[in-house]
Amino acid sequence: MTFSLSPLPAGRQALPCDRRGEGRSLRLATEVRGISILTFGSQWDKLVRSKSCSVGIYCRRDGYWPSTNRALQFDKRRKGAPVGIKAVRGFNDVLPDEIGKWQYVEKTAREVFEGFGFSEIRIPILEPTELFSRGIGEATDIVEKEMYTFTDRSGNSLTLRPEATASMARAYLEHQLYTFDPVAKLYCIGPMFRYERPQKGRYRQFYQIDAEVFGVENPMADAEVIVMLIYFLKKVGLEKLELQINSLGDRVCRPRYREELKKFFTSKSFQLCEDCQRRLQTNPLRIFDCKVETCQAAIADAPKVSDFICLECQKHFDKVKEYLEMAGLTYILNPRMVRGLDYYTRTAFEVVSYQLGSQNAVTGGGRYDNLFQEIGGLDIPGIGFAIGMERLVSLLPKEKEFVLRPHLFVAALGEGPLKEAYRIINQLHLAEVRAELDYESKSLKSQMRRADKLKARYALILGEEELKKGKAVLRNMETKSQEEIPMANLLETLKSKIL
Ligand code: AMP
């Protein structure tokens, strides 16, 4: 395993190096804010403790670590990474070696969703704060403490969108999409912003793929979006997923359940954490989302929403289950799943992956028949879901290749061949052949090394001698076999051999 060495996070102290670490095998335990944290087999007396992680960081005086022989060699070559300006905590770069996965997921989502009759919509990243405080609900974690809200130069309160459903509903109302067809099937892909405590699978800027159906009350729509979701997740290659569903009741039956919950948790209030004490007053359903052990113990005996839902909600839920079964989907009933946003009514669902650790939900969704009224006064039902991109990407099959490899690496030896290579590579690019060139015309060995590193499938070698003969050498980088090919009609010959 190779490590890249990182400077210590600001404010953290580097302790003197103790050479006992050298030569010992270290294990990459985790990464915190881009800092690799290594664990040792035994206890160390000179550790720097990371606040966000219980394992120690053993580091060198200059702030670089770890002190394995291999890492030290690497360190010498790098001579210390520049500290410079870093990305905001919880905001991530998606680097070129990862982007292939993202593009693959987005492309598959577009194909699948459009096949199910959905159209893409692009909505702004900034919205009036009121959209979310009214739509998502004042008493939710998102609105209470997670929104990036600021006042602009004209004094308007604006918020970086923490989710997309409310914005999509706003766009549907604002542009009166219902006048064209009351049923709208929309999807959008983009970043969301929540000021949460960053950890693996939870970030402050994260991407979601959202799909929503507006204007259909029929439970068939609930089942249809779930079927589409599961089909999509399987198509991108996810396995070992579990679909969990629940019904949260509606405006008729939920208030009674809420009251029961309030009574129940009041009797257990000594067990509740500070946050849940507050939730007990503002929104007792939120207590179900709490991960604190004593709260979990209290939750175990709490009344179930399924015992309180009214006949209409029960009928709706029974139909959803029937339609899911008709589509051959298996599901688990999870009466404790309430979802984090206030606007959900009736059907709620999550897809969880047991590969993901504590942040195991890949997708969450549900029906929200009151959202439109909250934000615009019209009575329009809706159902949809949001998939977390980072979590989804982390589950993609490891063996699948997502990075586009060059078809061809053009290696030129000398000035004349380099010019010729430039002419050829331009033609190749215009013919949409992925080709790379070494601009410095270095030694053949170094160019072949680079071709290997880029995982080029073929290399075209142009030397003075070959050019004089009107020939070039085509090398298969996998089998290492080579052949001479004529320069006349080179583009056609290359296309037929390498594409
Ligand atoms: P929600 O909008 O809260 O229903 O979340 C829908 C999905 O978005 C979740 O199942 C996660 O996969 C993903 N998600 C939500 N919050 C975060 C976050 N802070 N960081 C990364 N992914 C998230």
pLDDT for residue 340: 65
* Long-range contacts, stretch 298-302, CB < 8 angstroms, 24+ apart: 298/265, 298/268, 298/271, 298/272, 299/336, 301/264, 302/261, 302/264, 302/265, 302/336
Residue 385: CB partners within 8 Å, gap ≥ 6?
210, 211, 225, 226, 229, 349, 363, 364, 365, 366
Span 392-421, average pLDDT: 91
Residues, the chain, total? Answer: 499
How far is ligand 1, taken at its centre, from the CA of residue 204, in Å? 10
Span 22-30, average pLDDT: 43
Does residue 206 line the site of ligand 1, with CB under 6 A? Answer: yes
How far is ligand 1, taken at its centre, from the CA of residue 136, in Å? 14
Does residue 196 line the site of ligand 1, with CB under 6 A? Answer: yes
Does residue 136 line the site of ligand 1, with CB under 6 A? Answer: no
Could you tell me if 284 and 303 are in contact, meaning their C-beta atoms sit under 8 angstroms apart?
Answer: no
Does residue 202 line the site of ligand 1, with CB under 6 A? Answer: yes
Highest mean pLDDT, choosing among 186-190, 371-375, 468-472: 186-190
Q: What is the CA radius of gyration of the chain?
A: 28
- Distance, CA of 480 to CA of 418 (rounded, Å): 23
Of the residues 192, 199, 208, 246, which should be mutated to test ligand 1's pocket, given the most ligand atoms within 8 Å of the CB? Answer: 208
Residue nearest ligand 1's atom 1 by CA: 364
Q: What is the DSSP string of 213-282?
A: EES--SHHHHHHHHHHHHHHHHHTT--SEEEEEEE---TTTHHHHHHHHHHHHHHTGGGS-HHHHHHHHH
Domain with CATH 3.30.930.10 in the chain: 96-253+309-394
Of the residues 146, 147, 204, 206, which should be mutated to test ligand 1's pocket, given the most ligand atoms within 8 Å of the CB? Answer: 206
Span 56-71, average pLDDT: 39
How far is ligand 1, taken at its centre, from the CA of residue 140, in Å? 14
Residue nearest ligand 1's atom 18 by CA: 202
Banded model confidence at residue 85, pLDDT cuts 50, 70, 90: confident
User: CA of 103: how far to CAs of 107, 236, 404, in Å?
Assistant: 6, 11, 11
Does residue 62 have a pLDDT over 50? no
Residue nearest ligand 1's atom 12 by CA: 388
How far is ligand 1, taken at its centre, from the CA of residue 138, in Å? 19
CATH dotted code for 408-498 = 3.40.50.800
pLDDT for residue 83: 53
Span 85-93, average pLDDT: 93
Q: How does DSSP classify residue 120?
A: E
- Distance, CA of 121 to CA of 132 (rounded, Å): 19
- Distance, CA of 394 to CA of 231 (rounded, Å): 18
How far is ligand 1, taken at its centre, from the CA of residue 360, in Å? 10
pLDDT for residue 361: 84
Q: How does DSSP classify residue 391?
A: H
pLDDT digits (tens, 9 = 90+) for 191-217: 999 999 999 889 999 999 999 999 999
Banded model confidence at residue 154, pLDDT cuts 50, 70, 90: very high
pLDDT for residue 359: 63
Tell me the whole-structure pTM to 2 decimals.
0.80
Domain with CATH 3.40.50.800 in the chain: 408-498
User: For a pLDDT cut of 70, what percent of the chain falls above it?
Assistant: 82
pLDDT digits (tens, 9 = 90+) for 250-296: 988 988 998 999 999 999 988 899 889 988 888 888 888 888 889 98
Could you tell me if 27 and 39 are in contact, meaning their C-beta atoms sit under 8 angstroms apart?
Answer: yes
- Distance, CA of 205 to CA of 445 (rounded, Å): 43
Does residue 376 have a pLDDT over 60? yes
Does residue 366 line the site of ligand 1, with CB under 6 A? Answer: no
Residue type at position 206: F
**Which atom of ligand 1 is found nearest the CA of 165?**
2
Span 431-450, average pLDDT: 93
Does residue 386 line the site of ligand 1, with CB under 6 A? Answer: yes
Does residue 98 line the site of ligand 1, with CB under 6 A? Answer: no
pLDDT for residue 21: 41
Of the residues 193, 341, 363, 367, which should be mutated to test ligand 1's pocket, given the most ligand atoms within 8 Å of the CB? Answer: 363
Tell me which architecture the domain covering 96-253+309-394 has in CATH: 2-Layer Sandwich (3.30)
How far is ligand 1, taken at its centre, from the CA of residue 451, in Å? 39
**Which atom of ligand 1 is found nearest the CA of 386?**
6
- What is the average pLDDT value for the chain, to the nearest integer? 84
CA-CA-CA-CA torsion sign (481, 487, 488, 494): positive
Token pair for 18? 């103790």
- Distance, CA of 258 to CA of 281 (rounded, Å): 11
Which of 10-19, 105-114, 220-229, 237-246 shows the lowest per-residue confidence on average (mean pLDDT)?
10-19
Q: Which of these, 165, 104, 154, lies nearest to 131 by C-alpha position?
A: 165
Residue nearest ligand 1's atom 16 by CA: 202
- Distance, CA of 139 to CA of 141 (rounded, Å): 7
Span 315-334, average pLDDT: 97
Does residue 141 line the site of ligand 1, with CB under 6 A? Answer: no
- Distance, CA of 257 to CA of 96 (rounded, Å): 49
Collapsing DSSP to helix, strand or coil, 28 comes out as strand
Does residue 24 have a pLDDT over 60? no
User: β-strand 48-49 against 382-388: which pairing, if any?
Assistant: unpaired
Q: Which of these, 292, 393, 279, lies nearest to 340 by C-alpha position?
A: 279
For 348-366, b/e burial (b = at least 16 CB within 10 A) is: bbbbbbeebeebebbbbbb
User: For a pLDDT cut of 90, what percent of the chain falls above it?
Assistant: 61
Span 17-29, average pLDDT: 40
Q: How does DSSP classify residue 472?
A: E
Could you tell me if 148 and 159 are in contact, meaning their C-beta atoms sit under 8 angstroms apart?
Answer: yes
**Which atom of ligand 1 is found nearest the CA of 351?**
10
Does residue 447 line the site of ligand 1, with CB under 6 A? Answer: no
Does residue 391 line the site of ligand 1, with CB under 6 A? Answer: yes
Token pair for 55? 């394992």
Could you tell me if 316 and 257 are in contact, meaning their C-beta atoms sit under 8 angstroms apart?
Answer: no
Helices (H), 355-443: 371-376, 389-394, 415-430
Does residue 337 line the site of ligand 1, with CB under 6 A? Answer: no
How far is ligand 1, taken at its centre, from the CA of residue 388, in Å? 5
Q: Measured at the alpha carbon of residue 42, what is the angle toward residues 40 and 48, in degrees to the nearest 5?
A: 60
Does residue 482 have a pLDDT over 60? yes
Q: What are phi and psi of 437, to 5 degrees?
A: -135, 150
